[in-house]
Amino acid sequence: MAEIAVGIDLGTSNTCVSMMQDGQVKVLDNAYGERTSASVVHFHDDGSVEVGNSAKAKGIHAPAQTVSSAKRLIGRYHFSEEVKKAQAVYAYEVVEAANHGVRIEVREEEFSLPEISAMVLREMKQIAERHAGESVTKAVITVPAYFNDNQRQATKDAGRIAGLEVLRILNEPTAAALAYGFGMGLNQRVAVYDLGGGTFDISVLEIGKDIFEVLSTCGDTFLGGDDFDDRIVDLLADEFVGRFGINPRNDPYAYEKLKLAAENAKKALSVDEETRVAIDDVMKNDAGEALGLERTITRAEFAQLTQDLVMRTFKVCDEALQQSDLTVRDLDGVILVGGPTRLPIIREAVAHYFQQEPRVDVDPDEVVSMGAAIHAASLVGEAQDSMLLDVTPLDLRIGVAGGLAEPVIERNTPVPIEQTRTFTTFQDHQESVQIRVYQGDHRQAEDNTLLGQFEFSGFEKGLRSDVRIDVTFEIDADGLVNVAAADQRTGEAASTRIALSSGLAEQEIEKIIERDLAGRVATGVAAEKAAGEQIQPIAVAGEEPSAATAKVAVDADSPFGDGNEDLSTGREEELDLDGLDVEDAEFDLVDDEELRQLTQEAGDDFLDQDITLDVPAGADASEGFFETSVTNLSGTDLDLTEDEK
């Protein structure tokens, strides 16, 4: 029987699912006939959840219970800029979890970002099942090419939580190129200009018939269509302040209205030369009078407001071209991806920069999911072969003495790849070493993203000149990083392969899946509060054995939990975690006291090695191990050995 595997473009603003059927790639519409669904999750008062465009519409009335743009936060640390920005902009609560993780708090219940994204993915799974008429459990999910390991891992976790086997984490521009070039026998060099809701990627590819080789990729995960909306929001908000002396930014409801108006204005300006924004009731003043706003925005004005954002994308393009040793003249085509590339100001600027008209024959909102579907089908043998040879977007580095991070695998290196480096201990008779792995382009360790760290003690202790520890770094075809350490001399299998931190520990993921399977009908606080009330299951028919799926496929005409998906608790438990069994890859957490000690020693000894004055300010390393690692970046016990051979 044909195996079904779908392609899902999990976007910041919108999500789209496609599938190969009878040799044709089809974008699957939802129950409302919409081909993309807003990546928005709305939490109802009764604890049930709604996903998609209708959920987005509810955001105006209940912004604090409506989570949008989760992709901007997925795989980030709580202390990151993006999280601070989100806290300022979004009405929903963004709170800190252990290990500097991020949680969304809605109605007194905390959700991790992968859980939120899983709700969106489940919706896609359901849409696909409605079209396929059977269970869909395999998917290729796309991510921005510039996503780091933490973000990729978190996205993969989201897939698992949604009950999907993630066949491949695929880069969005690569997927788009595949959708363009699949089966065409092209021999071309192309650039994919991918401006999404929250991220920007540029990839340069060489297409040789069925081989799609990425030559370079560059990006900015802080730049997207949302930023263009924000410029209009600011314009409107400033105008409002000027007129009434009240700042609508401080009122979440008013802010939501401005955001929606801005988005509509932006879309209108794709078609018209000017548009009029008119909101009757932005907010009420102290006297209870409704204060409205009217404003005409011209395309020229919008272009001026966003000029710097457009220029920023071209700086990234410069870098990508430079990395691939090409100029715009070497390119045979430019492919536009992402909703914002519909904007005439962007199309014109792109045409000018690349000195050619960009190709727009495939819908920029759908092209990525189509490419993902083609690859998914080819992975399960349902479509003609095509090879995607991708690269890693960021330098992979290891922390060494002096607070520095040494590159081991440079950005734009093809994947999968593996590299082994040899290290020795910092001191004689050292008991263990801390191995810290980073991604980023900076020499100073702390300027990069920490992917994770682990302690290795399985080596033969001795003089530092004798100890040889091989650290092996692997980046797989998903762009995910694995690091293992082994004693070179004994060659012992003292090696422990450790998947680095994803923010969610393995046990946490299992717990979430279990909770979803067994208890999502009425979870946590929501359940207790609403005890006795009729509570609908979260819209998650997806989770199930095929028997239940068949039912969903037949019955689920209504998109959001009309009770049809009601899986009996008994059945849910039966499901257990079949097929999701993952080896127990736990971190051996370092005892805080021990680590502090180690760090202190290392700190004292730095001056022998390398000059560094990062005396561990992290003496308050008391919280989790990330706390420690972040403040103690200098406390590295490893030093590169001189050349081996």
Stretch that binds another protein, among 41-49, 105-113, 207-215, 218-226 (CB under 8 A): 207-215
Determine which residue in the list 107, 267, 421, 551 makes contact with another protein, applying CB under 8 A. 421
Stretch that binds another protein, among 156-164, 288-296, 298-306, 610-618 (CB under 8 A): 610-618
Stretch that binds another protein, among 424-432, 473-481, 559-567, 622-630 (CB under 8 A): 473-481
Longest dimension (CA), the chain: 81
213 binds another protein, rule: CB under 8 A:
yes
Local structure of residue 444 (DSSP, 8 states):
B
Structural element, H or E, at residue 219: strand 211-220
Radius of gyration of the chain from its Cα atoms, rounded to whole angstroms: 25
Cβ 573 vs Cβ 548: under 8 Å: no
Determine which residue in the list 64, 132, 303, 379 makes contact with another protein, applying CB under 8 A. 379
The residue behind tokens 């849409």 is 127
2 binds another protein, rule: CB under 8 A:
no
Q: Which is nearer to another protein, 208 or 519 (CB)?
A: 208
645 binds another protein, rule: CB under 8 A:
yes
419 binds another protein, rule: CB under 8 A:
yes
Total length of the chain: 645
Q: Which is nearer to another protein, 91 or 380 (CB)?
A: 380
Bridge-based pairing state of the strands 165-171 and 187-195: unpaired
Cα angle 173, 179, 184 (rounded to 5 degrees) comes to 125
317 vs 337: CA distance, rounded Å: 14
Count residues binding another protein (CB under 8 A). 38
555 binds another protein, rule: CB under 8 A:
no
579 binds another protein, rule: CB under 8 A:
no
Cβ 6 vs Cβ 136: under 8 Å: yes
Determine which residue in the list 35, 239, 356, 414 makes contact with another protein, applying CB under 8 A. 414
613 binds another protein, rule: CB under 8 A:
yes
Give the footprint of another protein on residues 432-471 (CB under 8 A): 443
Q: Spot the catalytic one: 129, 194, 470, 544.
A: 194
Contacts of 597 (CB under 8 A, 6+ apart): none
344 binds another protein, rule: CB under 8 A:
no
Cβ 433 vs Cβ 455: under 8 Å: yes
Cβ 94 vs Cβ 102: under 8 Å: yes
Q: Which is nearer to another protein, 351 or 379 (CB)?
A: 379
Structural element, H or E, at residue 551: helix 546-555
Bridge-based pairing state of the strands 49-51 and 41-43: antiparallel
Determine which residue in the list 246, 291, 477, 527 makes contact with another protein, applying CB under 8 A. 477
Q: Which is nearer to another protein, 407 or 624 (CB)?
A: 407
408 binds another protein, rule: CB under 8 A:
yes
Cα angle 408, 321, 409 (rounded to 5 degrees) comes to 5
Helix (H, G, I), strand (E, B) or coil at 350: helix
- For residue 190, the minimal CB distance to another protein (Å) is 17
409 binds another protein, rule: CB under 8 A:
yes
Determine which residue in the list 53, 208, 284, 359 makes contact with another protein, applying CB under 8 A. 208
Q: Which is nearer to another protein, 88 or 611 (CB)?
A: 611
Residue 396 identity (one-letter amino acid): L
**Environment class of residue 557 by beta-carbon count within 10 Å: exposed (0-12), middle (13-18) or buried (19+)?**
exposed
485 vs 494: CA distance, rounded Å: 8
Q: Which is nearer to another protein, 98 or 615 (CB)?
A: 615
- For residue 477, the minimal CB distance to another protein (Å) is 5
26 vs 594: CA distance, rounded Å: 56
Give the footprint of another protein on residues 99-138 (CB under 8 A): none
Is 9 tagged catalytic? yes
- For residue 180, the minimal CB distance to another protein (Å) is 19
Determine which residue in the list 47, 75, 159, 402 makes contact with another protein, applying CB under 8 A. 402
Stretch that binds another protein, among 46-54, 59-67, 270-278, 402-410 (CB under 8 A): 402-410
Which parts of 352-499 are beta strand (E)?
387-389, 396-400, 404-409, 417-425, 433-439, 449-456, 469-475, 481-487, 496-499
Is 172 tagged catalytic? yes
623 binds another protein, rule: CB under 8 A:
no
Residue 408 identity (one-letter amino acid): V
Give just the sign of the alpha carbon dihedral 395, 508, 549, 521: negative
Cβ 389 vs Cβ 214: under 8 Å: yes
301 vs 83: CA distance, rounded Å: 30
410 binds another protein, rule: CB under 8 A:
yes
499 binds another protein, rule: CB under 8 A:
no
611 binds another protein, rule: CB under 8 A:
yes
- For residue 162, the minimal CB distance to another protein (Å) is 21
Mark residue 245 as left, alpha or beta (left: phi above 0; alpha: psi -120 to 50; beta: remaining): left
| Contact set with another protein (CB under 8 A) | 167-168, 208, 211, 213, 375, 378-381, 385, 387-389, 402, 404, 406-410, 413-419, 421, 443, 474, 476-477, 607, 610-611, 613, 645
For the annotated catalytic residues, the residue numbers are 9, 71, 172, 194
